[in-house]
């Protein structure tokens, strides 16, 4: 995984454990695919609801978590009784093939989990048009997700779309600043900023803005960039040249509009697709980093004055996947958690993903949920059964 995708070895090991957790969770959850009995409207009838596998599932997965994004889909699909055909990202096919080999070794029957590599357009067109496929599950950009959504319409497939994010990370002046800095390190810089739940916009209340910026810069400056197989490396390379160019464009745009570089701000001396972990201050809403997902190691710090202002700026986006905030005020915790227009909210933590909880977004960030007991239902259909003619026994 490190050789293929670039993340440091400790992170790669963490992803393998995270990926395995979905297999374990859904293997257990399969035993709890409960139906229902419903009180009948007539005495001679019995009403039941059965849950049955939806059928063949097509999956398209991204390169940033080439193991876990597969198991988060395959785990519930197989637990529900569905077969899966998987198209992995072209940048990371070997992680997917390795999973297929391991599934075969574990005794999974042939044909239940198939991996198809090749031209994304051709494979995607077949997956969306083929009537045998009853569900499409996709993790990737909103732009591609919208195209797949449209392509699935003629065959009325069930859809699971986990799309783009623009996650806010809010630090209120009553927060534990050291804890907030540690949370920002995880939420912003995990996988070198290449996750859909990365903190893309960091809002810091004026009273603690300078202190937070300094503490964050001091922490990040001590982290090492390099070969992911080397000891002590935190930051690996970006996935490709296009990703590097996007990071450069966002930083250049911010600087041209008045932002200041506290740390980094340029390509790393190591060359290739390495970019220095970066912190920007005096960032404003008119900059590209406020509107677009950077997908790189850039932490833009926005200043705010009031709670209402922070919530309004956080919600001022078409996306609604993950959000984070730090506060020790219990009333504020409830107010802000309920006011943030996102599918997931991390309170006083920068790491929210787990097999036990529903993962997914609102607005342009997608449809459906992955993980948790709800993730199993995504791969099942409900069937209502009405049994009549249950009359009292003669003479009773």
Residue 81 lies in a domain: yes
Domain holding 306, by residue range, is 167-347
Mean pLDDT of 159-172: 97
User: Are the C-beta atoms of 190 and 291 separated by less than 8 Å?
Assistant: no
Averaged over 99-120, what is the pLDDT?
96
Q: Is residue 262 part of a domain?
A: yes
pLDDT of res. 391: 86
Give the catalytic positions in this structure.
Answer: 162, 196
Q: What is the pLDDT of residues 251-271, one digit of tens each?
A: 999 999 999 999 999 999 999
Would you state the pLDDT for residue 396?
59
| Confidence band for 394, pLDDT divided at 50, 70 and 90 | confident
Asked whether residue 379 is domain-assigned, the answer is yes
Spatial CA neighbour of 275 closest among 193, 334, 343, 345:
193
pLDDT tens profile 296-329: 999 999 999 999 999 999 999 999 999 999 999 9
Asked if residue 116 and residue 259 are part of one domain, the reply reads: no
Query: 361 pLDDT exceeds 80?
Result: yes
Q: Are residues 216 and 259 in the same domain?
A: yes
Cβ-proximal residues to 295 (8 Å cutoff; 6+ apart), any chain: 193, 194, 198, 243, 246, 247
Does the structure show a pLDDT above 70 at 395? no
**Whether residues 10 and 124 fall in one domain:** yes
Tell me the pLDDT tens digit for each residue of 18-73. 999 999 999 999 999 999 999 999 999 999 999 999 999 999 999 999 999 999 99
Residue 358 lies in a domain: no
Q: Provide the CATH number for the domain around residue 3.
A: 3.40.605.10
Residue 216 lies in a domain: yes
77 and 35 fall within a common domain = yes
Q: Which residue from 264, 270, 252, 177 is spatially nearest to 221, judged by alpha carbons? A: 264
**In-domain check, residue 236:** yes
Query: Can you tell me the mean pLDDT for 159-184?
Result: 98
Q: Is 75 in a helix, a strand, or coil?
A: helix
8 Å CB contact between 315 and 170: no
List, in order, residues 6 or more apart from 301 with CB less than 8 Å away: 202, 204, 209, 212, 213, 216, 279, 280, 281, 282, 283
Question: Within 13 Å of residue 211, how many CA atoms lie on the same side as its CB?
Answer: 14
pLDDT in tens, 175-229: 999 999 999 999 999 999 999 999 999 999 999 999 999 999 999 999 999 999 9
Q: What is the pLDDT of residue 392?
A: 84
Closest CA to 82 of 142, 26, 24: 26
Based on the fold, state whether residues 56 and 11 are members of the same structural domain: yes
Q: Would residue 317 count as lying in a domain?
A: yes
Q: What is the dihedral of CA 178, 196, 142, 304, to 10 degrees?
A: 0
């Amino acid at each position: 995984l490190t050789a293929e995708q670039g993340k440091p070895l400790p992170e790669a090991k963490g992803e393998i454990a995270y990926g395995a957790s979905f297999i374990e969770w859904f293997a257990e959850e399969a035993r709890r695919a409960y139906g229902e009995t419903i009180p009948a409207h007539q005495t001679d009838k019995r009403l039941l609801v059965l849950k049955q596998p939806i059928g063949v599932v097509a999956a398209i997965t991204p390169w940033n978590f080439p193991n876990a994004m597969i198991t988060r889909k395959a785990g519930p699909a197989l637990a529900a009784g569905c077969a899966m055909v998987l198209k992995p990202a072209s940048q990371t096919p070997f992680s997917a093939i390795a999973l297929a080999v391991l599934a075969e070794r574990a005794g999974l029957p042939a044909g239940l989990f198939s991996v198809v590599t090749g031209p994304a357009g051709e494979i995607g067109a077949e997956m969306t048009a083929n009537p045998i496929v009853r569900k499409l599950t996709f993790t990737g950009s909103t732009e591609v997700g919208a195209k797949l959504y449209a392509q699935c319409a003629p065959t009325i497939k069930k859809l699971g779309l986990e799309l783009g994010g623009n996650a806010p990370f809010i630090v209120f002046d009553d927060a534990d600043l050291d804890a907030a800095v540690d949370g920002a390190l995880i939420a912003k810089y995990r996988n070198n900023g290449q996750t859909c739940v990365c903190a893309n916009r960091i809002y810091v209340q004026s009273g603690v803005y300078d202190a937070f910026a300094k503490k964050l810069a001091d922490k990040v400056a001590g982290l090492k960039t390099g070969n992911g197989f080397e000891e002590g490396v935190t930051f690996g390379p970006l996935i490709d040249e296009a990703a590097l160019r996007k990071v450069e464009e966002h930083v250049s745009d911010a600087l041209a509009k008045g932002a200041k570089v506290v740390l980094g701000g340029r390509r790393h001396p190591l060359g290739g697709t390495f970019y220095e972990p970066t912190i920007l201050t005096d960032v404003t809403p008119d900059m590209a980093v406020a509107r677009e997902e950077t997908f790189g190691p850039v932490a833009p710090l926005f200043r705010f004055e009031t709670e209402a202002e922070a919530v309004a700026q956080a919600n001022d986006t078409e996306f609604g996947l993950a959000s984070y905030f730090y506060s020790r005020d219990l009333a504020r915790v409830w107010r802000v958690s309920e006011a943030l227009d996102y599918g997931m909210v991390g309170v006083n933590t920068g790491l929210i993903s787990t097999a036990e909880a529903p993962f997914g977004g609102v607005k342009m960030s997608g449809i459906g949920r992955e993980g948790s007991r709800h993730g199993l239902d995504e791969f099942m259909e409900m069937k209502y059964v009405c049994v009549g003619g249950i009359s009292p026994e003669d003479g009773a």
